[in-house]
Structure 1
Amino acid sequence: MFADKSASIPKVCYEIFVRSFCDSNGDGIGDLNGIISKLDYLADLGIEAIWLTPIHPSPSYHKYDVIDYYAIEPEYGTLADFKRLLASAHERGIAVYLDLIINHTSTLHPWFKEARKSKDSPYRQFYWWMTQDQIDHLGISERETSDDSQVVYPWHENPGDDEKYYGLFYKGMPDLNFHSEALREEIAKIVRFWLNDIGVDGFRLDAARHIYPVWDSEDSITFWQFFSKIIGEAKPNAFTVGEVWADTEEVAPYFRNLNATFHFDLSFALQRMLIAQRDEQIIDKLQASFKLFQQYNPLFVNAIMLTNHDQERIGSVVDRNIKKIKLAASILLTLPGQPYLYYGEEIGMLGKKPDPYIREPFLWTDDPDDPQLTSWIEPEFTTLKTVAPLSEQTGDPTSVFNHYKNLIHLRRTEPALHQILAPNLQPVHFHDEQLLGYFRPHVDRSLIVIHNLGDDEREFQLPDDKSLFTEVLFSTDLLHETTLTTNRLAPHSSIILAPARNVGPFDKQ
């Protein structure tokens, strides 16, 4: 029963930081028409859904502090441009997910501008307000930092007001208070507008675990029950993926009401493994997380990624090591789940914090004056001196780009790899911490995946019940072409094995 539904879930997704992707009008800022011009590129790469970082009017470069939920940031284009983008993407079989920012607004949003004027404003209830005595009584004047917010003092002064407002991420981003029924109805209108009037396919939900502050944190999960009801009434097949930047145990309950959540534990584990060059029993840990997620939703979708717009780029995490950059992709794209590529990962883009430098311009060509190249920031990490542009990589069969493209094609064509619901994953133990092995069972054709995480060539021995897996579907080790002839794997290499073609259906594992 899982297969039919799974077929409608995009198999490979792509996050676009709009400002940095592609400029269409020469102002140095990425825009919606720039994305339209690259839809053929994304379709050819094998992308089936794009997640756009916020496109609403906002005073910041990143747009995570919204002023108007119904409009398009003028730097990015118009609502007509967005409708063209949506139609053009759908023509190519690409879904479009919007970044929906409802944990907070900008202080310039009309709601907050009215709320801060007077305690009697009907919009006052849309936000969190307390006197210093109330804050001290509850013991919430300070907070421990978290991966997604480094703010220690989240209460901010409103000049001439004896009450402060709560803003978890920044004083310019006051948190919304969803105890307000009037606010809930406003959010429902926004959701219905984008799903029904405009026709988007779903939402990436920012800061999903912070929808209520820590003193009301249990309501953060139940809020999404309200939200999913709105989705179900407006567009039942709309997709929701939540940013729940927390440990797996805290993430799991969100699956009650969301289709997917991002697997941050996996993201950081993969980064540690690539640096340390040894397995962390990641397959066993993934299996345990699947069992936990399934308790809340048997149709959970595990959204997996290497990094995103809030994390240092994988190319920099592995210190620009091309073999490790490819290895990271090989692991991500052979694990079960719904993978999200961060724009530019497919060409090996680099980037370290602070945040603007993990969001640098995409390199389309080797022309430093390329009109498509965004120039809103002077890049520190991804430059023509450090990263080969797409135009150079497309014709190079050994490039990072072609590595991604080949893997994505394989993932989309092999049922064992693209199964998303009821994740099919079992460990294959080699008793060597530098080897990561796993089994992807499937009724059509099962596969074995092996990665060498280390700097040295490693020998491996397939288990007796997997001895028939000798056909090589994919390998980054030149020693292996079409048939497994030796049980050795080069450093930082990967291999995908299928049962030999002369094996009968009842012999397949």
Structure 2
Amino acid sequence: MTKAQRYAGRRATRIALAATVALSLALPGCDSGDGKKRGSSNAYYEIFVRSFADSDGDGIGDLNGVTSKLDYLEELGVDGLWLMPIQPSPSYHGYDVTDYYGIDPDYGTLDDYKKLLKEAHKRGISVLMDLVVNHSSVEHPWFVDAAMGQDAEHRDWYTWASAKEGGASPSDGATGSNPWHDMGGDNYLGIFWEGMPDLNFDNPDVRKEMIAVGQYWLKLGVDGFRLDAAKHIYGDFGSTINSPAIKRKNQAWWQEFREGLNAVKPDAYLVGEVWESPAVIGPYLDHALDSAFNFDLAKQLLGSADTEVAQDIGFTLSRVHEFFSKSSEGAFMDAPFLANHDQPRAMTALNGNENHARMAAAMLLTLPGRPFIYYGEELGMTGAKPDERIREPFPWKIEPGSPEETTWEPSTNRGDGSVSVEAEDESPRSLLNLYRELLSWRAAEPALRGGTIASYVTGNSAIVSYARAAEDEQLLVVHNLSGLSQTVSIQATKAQPLVYSKLALSTEEGAELSGTTLKLPAYATVVLKP
């Protein structure tokens, strides 16, 4: 059997599964409980377009390259994409925008983007756009005009302080550096970098314009936004960023933004970068954001996988979710992840240990909410700061030089090619195929992708376990984090009254449930049913 035939066979199996579960939706109680149909994993995939796939041979990834790889993403099992910034920018990363209504010419045209949206939607894949509203580029026409002087039309679209004021303006930047930058005798506010001047959201024209930007892209077919630096809209200074007044202003802005988007697309999905504790995140979920990335959980998942020591994730998440549910009137959706474009890659954080990477993936993809996978995580790509090293070209082939691979940046972490789609595609034990398997579990089991999570204690420090439930379905997920086989007792107690009698899913051969005794091979994950 050729590789093409094997690929076609796997895809046919996925299509058959989707058809089967679609039929089941006609029966009572078959909805996932989270608004998603059976057959969907509820997982999203973060793409740095510049690094993902090149369609025209210039060495730079582009939108048509992403479109050409939608079959790969469909087979992987994700339901959505988050595209890092694709608007015009003088920087390689795109987080300083010069035109909020345009497409970076390195990436293609607006028609290319429309084609990507159309082809993604054909496959049931949603597309999120990275939207940077805290600041523009210093080269944006608004700022170029604002810098002309006090009487400029867009002067008040940014925040200025005269150099003559000396210490009158706070100088404790919320990110740790001096937020003020000189411009012809006046200082403008830019908390991230002098090339990223902060927009002034006290100006109603700025708020109106940003809502218009969001509406524009939704009308074109975008399904929602990843909102960069969401807590920094008014969070300019370390001394005030967590004050009640600033928190209220940030919350009010995102509620205003949500209301504006509702006029165009009420079901637009909004996930915010709020790098904070649950107590800070909570208010952002009140009629504003649907989700905020769970940074605390990412640290917990990687820490447990790395040390092989269990933490009670079920207890922690159940408490956090209860708080978020109250904050949002039950409307929130968690956004767990392992790493993103600003952090060391998961495999690097785990010191290159593939078994630990497998366990981190298994925990991530058996949790409720909408998990996000950073491109290449499913292959075990490595990388640490500086940022370019964690945003390197995606390795499609074992050997470099394939026309579809990008070359804008050297692939310093490429290694011998064993971490590539070509090498891992046909290897049953590869990390790539583990991700495919786990995502197929989510597609088949509503209680894995939605519903609730609760603590389940086994008393074994190498075992992470938690109960999952959605509608009338209940599951028990058990992970052996260690390199030794483990035996645990799975029996009903007053605190955990349900009896689990069926071993439904397992990542490893040799797992066995006999009565109340569960035997787990090293680095295995199982799902039990009553």
Q: Tell me the equivalent position of 1:446.
A: 474
What secondary structure sits across from 1:302 in the alignment? coil
Do the aligned residues in 2 keep the contact of 1:457 with 1:488 (CA within 8 Å)?
A: yes
Do the aligned residues in 2 keep the contact of 1:415 with 1:444 (CA within 8 Å)?
A: no
Following the alignment from structure 2 to structure 1, what is the Cα–Cα distance between the partners of residues 300 and 189? 33
- The structure 1 residue matched to 2:509, chosen from 472, 478, 491, is 478
Following the alignment from structure 2 to structure 1, what is the Cα–Cα distance between the partners of residues 362 and 257? 35
Aligned residues: 486
1:316 has 2:348 as partner: yes
1:496 has 2:501 as partner: no
- The structure 2 residue matched to 1:115, chosen from 126, 137, 146, is 146
Following the alignment from structure 1 to structure 2, what is the Cα–Cα distance between the partners of residues 132 and 432? 62
Instruction: Name stretches of at least 5 consecutive residues in structure 1 with no aligned partner.
Output: 500-509
Cα deviations across residues 205-224 of structure 1 (Å, max 9, x unaligned)? 11000011244623112110
Following the alignment from structure 1 to structure 2, what is the Cα–Cα distance between the partners of residues 76 and 364? 19
Cα deviations across residues 343-367 of structure 1 (Å, max 9, x unaligned)? 1111111111111111111111113
Q: Tell me the equivalent position of 2:50.
A: 19
TM-score w.r.t. length of structure 2: 0.88
Q: Tell me the equivalent position of 2:9.
A: none
Name the CA shift for 1:4/1:280 in 2 (closer, same or farther; >3 Å). closer
TM-score w.r.t. length of structure 1: 0.91
Instruction: Name stretches of at least 5 consecutive residues in structure 2 with no aligned partner.
Output: 1-28
1:191 has 2:214 as partner: yes
Name the CA shift for 1:170/1:94 in 2 (closer, same or farther; >3 Å). same
Q: Tell me the equivalent position of 2:250.
A: 220
1:407 has 2:430 as partner: no
Following the alignment from structure 2 to structure 1, what is the Cα–Cα distance between the partners of residues 284 and 347? 31
1:37 has 2:68 as partner: yes
Name the CA shift for 1:4/1:337 in 2 (closer, same or farther; >3 Å). closer
Name the CA shift for 1:263/1:399 in 2 (closer, same or farther; >3 Å). same
Following the alignment from structure 1 to structure 2, what is the Cα–Cα distance between the partners of residues 239 and 442? 21
Letter of the 2:227 partner, please give it.
L
CA RMSD of aligned residues (A): 2.1
1:229 has 2:265 as partner: no
Q: Tell me the equivalent position of 1:168.
A: 191
Q: Tell me the equivalent position of 2:421.
A: 390
Name the CA shift for 1:387/1:118 in 2 (closer, same or farther; >3 Å). farther
Letter of the 1:221 partner, please give it.
Q
1:339 has 2:371 as partner: yes
1:10, distance to aligned residue in structure 2 (A):
6.9
Letter of the 1:6 partner, please give it.
G
1:280, distance to aligned residue in structure 2 (A):
3.0
Name the CA shift for 1:443/1:201 in 2 (closer, same or farther; >3 Å). closer
1:457, distance to aligned residue in structure 2 (A):
2.9
Do the aligned residues in 2 keep the contact of 1:472 with 1:496 (CA within 8 Å)?
A: yes
Q: Tell me the equivalent position of 2:35.
A: 6
1:131, distance to aligned residue in structure 2 (A):
2.5
Q: Tell me the equivalent position of 2:357.
A: 325
Q: Tell me the equivalent position of 2:4.
A: none
Q: Tell me the equivalent position of 2:380.
A: 348
1:41, distance to aligned residue in structure 2 (A):
1.1
1:444, distance to aligned residue in structure 2 (A):
4.4
What secondary structure sits across from 1:459 in the alignment? strand
1:276, distance to aligned residue in structure 2 (A):
2.3
Q: What percent of counterpart residues are identical?
A: 40
Do the aligned residues in 2 keep the contact of 1:66 with 1:105 (CA within 8 Å)?
A: yes
Following the alignment from structure 2 to structure 1, what is the Cα–Cα distance between the partners of residues 458 and 60? 49
1:132, distance to aligned residue in structure 2 (A):
4.1
Name the CA shift for 1:134/1:473 in 2 (closer, same or farther; >3 Å). farther
